[in-house]
């Protein structure tokens, strides 16, 4: 579908950011004055009024950065052939680096002040008190910050230290070429990272196997290169942790948002107790697919051939609104307002990036990019991304700018809560046995992918960091051996762990963001708990949940979630999600056996 063929209601309205590129350029030029203005406050933060003025100036700069960045990014993603917006994004990267370098003096100067002096300034200047939690979040990590010159040096070095990630991205996205394969009709098809997942879902096993061997065979041949890049990235992480006086990179990464290290280990241990349920599901998949052997290239194929009826976008909205009624009239009305006010760019077209995401800023609505194709999966994707956007809307309308953004640790909670509620609603309404089993399989795959698989990733990430921290430099063959071992541990004997899978770690860009992947599992566990309580109509849960959505980053993630009713320092949320997974496996098995009779 071309851009010209789309109706106005099908495209997002980005005029809420800027009316045109010229307006963007005016603000971009205005951004250039901020580094000099910010640097002028160096050496003056012991004065309460000067501290307040600096914080307001920094907020002003950050708000402008968000607005400029989102305009360039969203336009670039709706038409990747437009080099103008790609250039604007590149300009923003440099501008952000200059602003970060200009503000490098702030934290060291703040840390030079005593707690008593900070308390005195908060008492003196009433407007400063809104920043109390933000200031305390810095002060509690006093021993982990460097002096002003050292912080500025690190800020300038950030682009250099990100080289391993940047090079790996270029390798995967541009330079790597995979051998072509023959599709279901025997026609030669080019393979790339974008098309690979679709080929793994082909109902033709030959196609799946050829795609698997083509892509992972290429990664295997380049495993030494990717291994060098990944271990260099991990060494950067360990370097950063050590110069900031952390015992480990894990402590450093989690300490930035005050997550106890025990949460990471609890996540791995608790989900590990559910591996038996995962292996039962794998055995059931093998049975349903009717295969003598289930290989790694079979694991993503849909269990049921579904001739789906097309679900129009408007019908998807109706279904989602029905499902979300338990969240209250205000929630559903704001959801509809987002549809009517053109938050969403709905349909795929030539040049538009694939996938889906939610993005916005304090001075705009929370936009959504979709590639809606009218399938059941697309209905759930809409629900998921609207969960993100609703979280953003509640947060930005209830918090000052400094606390409007929510932490990565909490980022997937609202979106997944929406998705779980909607998927259960769709299953309850569906009468067709094949479609019911398909919906069950979708839920199971969500948990397999977001919980079990991500925790397996988390184990791998802990392994490679620990190796480097112990003075070792694991080579590619060791990384491959560990990856193979973990796949065998999680999937068991029902799945043939093909040697080709051993280099799959090289495909995972998330490993270049320290200790991030486990948050998919914690987020899903929290969301599953919220969804269960909401659907069960537990007293007070909707108010507590909305309180969480409104909180932004005004508190640390763990106490914020605990206040809403989910405590991730215990194994209960993880035990609950395993119980749900087990129940869904049993239900799928019962429905399948019933259909065979």
Provide DSSP, 243-286.
HTT-SSHHHHHHHTTT--HHHHHHHHHHHHTTHHHHHHHHHHHH
What is the rounded CA–CA span in Å between residue 308 and residue 137?
Answer: 50
Q: In this structure, are residues 364 and 13 in contact, taking their beta carbons and an 8 Å threshold?
A: no
What is the rounded CA–CA span in Å between residue 69 and residue 67?
Answer: 6
Q: For residue 597, count other CB atoms closer than 10 A to its CB.
A: 4
Nearest to 303 by CA among 442, 184, 498, 209: 442
Q: What is the CA radius of gyration of the chain?
A: 25
Q: How many CA atoms lie within 13 A of 407 on its CB side?
A: 24
What is the rounded CA–CA span in Å between residue 156 and residue 331?
Answer: 43
Alpha-helical (H) ranges within 194-260 are 196-200, 205-221, 223-243, 249-255
Q: Which residues contact 32 (CB under 8 A, 6 or more apart)?
A: 95
β-pairing, 181-182 with 188-189? antiparallel
Report the length, in residues, of the chain. Answer: 597
488 an active-site residue? no
The phi, psi pair for 244, rounded to 5°, reads -100, 10
Nearest to 419 by CA among 329, 535, 320: 320
Q: In this structure, are residues 555 and 444 in contact, taking their beta carbons and an 8 Å threshold?
A: no
Nearest to 357 by CA among 16, 7, 6, 77: 77
Nearest to 360 by CA among 17, 40, 6, 114: 17
Alpha-helical (H) ranges within 79-146 are 83-102, 106-112, 115-124, 132-139
Q: In this structure, are residues 410 and 561 in contact, taking their beta carbons and an 8 Å threshold?
A: yes
The phi, psi pair for 496, rounded to 5°, reads -80, 115
Q: In this structure, are residues 414 and 392 in contact, taking their beta carbons and an 8 Å threshold?
A: no
What is the rounded CA–CA span in Å between residue 233 and residue 229?
Answer: 6
The phi, psi pair for 182, rounded to 5°, reads -100, 130
Q: Locate 193 and state its tokens.
A: 């990272």
* Helix, strand, or coil (residue 596): helix
Q: Considering 78, 385, 469, 504, which one is annotated as catalytic?
A: 385
What is the rounded CA–CA span in Å between residue 414 and residue 389?
Answer: 9
| CA of residue 295 relative to chain centroid, distance | 28
Sheet holding 367-369, edge to edge: 344-345, 367-369, 357-359
* Helix, strand, or coil (residue 345): strand
Q: Locate 346 and state its tokens.
A: 């709905």
What is the rounded CA–CA span in Å between residue 170 and residue 162?
Answer: 13
Catalytic residue IDs: 385
């Amino acid at each position: 579908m071309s851009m010209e063929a789309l109706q106005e209601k099908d495209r997002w309205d980005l005029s809420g950011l800027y009316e045109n590129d010229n307006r963007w350029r005016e603000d971009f030029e205005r951004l250039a004055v901020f580094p000099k203005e910010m640097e002028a406050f160096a050496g003056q933060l012991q004065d309460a009024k000067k501290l307040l003025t600096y914080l307001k100036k920094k907020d002003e700069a950050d708000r402008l950065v968000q607005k400029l960045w989102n305009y360039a990014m969203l336009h670039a993603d709706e038409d990747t052939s437009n080099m103008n917006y790609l250039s604007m994004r590149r300009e923003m990267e440099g501008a952000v680096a200059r602003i970060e370098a200009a503000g490098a003096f702030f934290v060291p100067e703040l840390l030079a002040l005593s707690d008593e002096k900070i308390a005195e300034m908060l008492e003196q200047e009433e407007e400063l008190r809104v920043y109390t939690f933000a200031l305390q979040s810095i002060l509690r990590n006093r021993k982990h910050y460097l002096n002003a010159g050292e912080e500025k040096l690190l800020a300038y070095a950030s682009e250099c230290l990100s080289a391993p990630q940047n090079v790996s991205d270029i390798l995967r996205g541009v330079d790597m070429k995979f051998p072509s394969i023959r599709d279901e009709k025997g026609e030669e098809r080019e393979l790339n990272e974008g098309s690979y997942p679709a080929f793994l879902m082909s109902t033709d096993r030959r196609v799946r196997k050829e795609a698997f061997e083509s892509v992972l065979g290429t990664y295997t041949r380049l495993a030494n290169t990717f291994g060098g890049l990944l271990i260099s990235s991990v060494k950067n992480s360990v370097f950063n942790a050590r110069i900031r006086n952390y015992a480990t990179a894990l402590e450093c990464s989690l300490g930035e948002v005050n997550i106890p290290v025990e949460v990471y280990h609890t996540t791995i241990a608790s989900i590990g107790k559910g591996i038996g349920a995962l292996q039962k599901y794998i055995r059931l998949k093998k049975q349903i697919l009717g295969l003598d052997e289930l290989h790694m290239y079979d694991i993503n194929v849909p269990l049921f051939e579904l001739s789906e009826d097309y679900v129009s976008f408007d019908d998807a909205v109706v279904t989602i609104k029905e499902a979300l009624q338990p969240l209250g009239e205000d929630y559903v009305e704001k959801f509809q307002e987002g549809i009517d006010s053109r938050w969403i760019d709905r349909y795929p077209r030539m040049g538009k990036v694939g996938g889906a995401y939610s993005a916005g800023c304090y001075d705009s609505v929370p936009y959504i990019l979709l590639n809606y194709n009218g399938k059941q999966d697309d209905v759930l994707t809409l629900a998921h991304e609207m969960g993100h956007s609703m979280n953003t809307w509640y947060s930005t309308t209830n918090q000052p700018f400094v606390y409007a953004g929510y932490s990565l640790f909490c980022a997937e909670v609202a979106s997944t809560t929406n998705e779980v509620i909607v998927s259960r609603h769709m299953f309850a309404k569906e009468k067709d046995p094949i479609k019911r089993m398909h919906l069950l399989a979708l839920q199971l795959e969500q948990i397999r992918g977001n919980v079990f698989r991500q925790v397996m990733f988390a184990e791998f990430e802990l392994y490679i960091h620990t190796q480097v921290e112990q003075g070792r430099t694991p080579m590619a063959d060791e990384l491959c051996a560990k990856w193979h071992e973990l796949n065998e541990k999680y999937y068991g004997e029902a799945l043939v762990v093909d040697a080709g899978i051993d280099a799959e770690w090289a495909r995972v860009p998330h490993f270049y963001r320290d200790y991030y992947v486990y948050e998919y599992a914690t987020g899903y566990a929290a969301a599953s708990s919220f969804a269960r309580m909401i659907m069960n109509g537990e007293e007070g849960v909707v108010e507590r949940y909305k309180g969480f959505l409104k909180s932004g980053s005004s508190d640390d993630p763990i106490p914020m979630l605990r206040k809403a009713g989910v405590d991730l320092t215990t194994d209960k949320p993880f035990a609950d999600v395993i119980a749900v997974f087990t129940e869904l496996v049993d239900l799928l098995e019962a429905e399948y056996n019933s259909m065979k009779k």
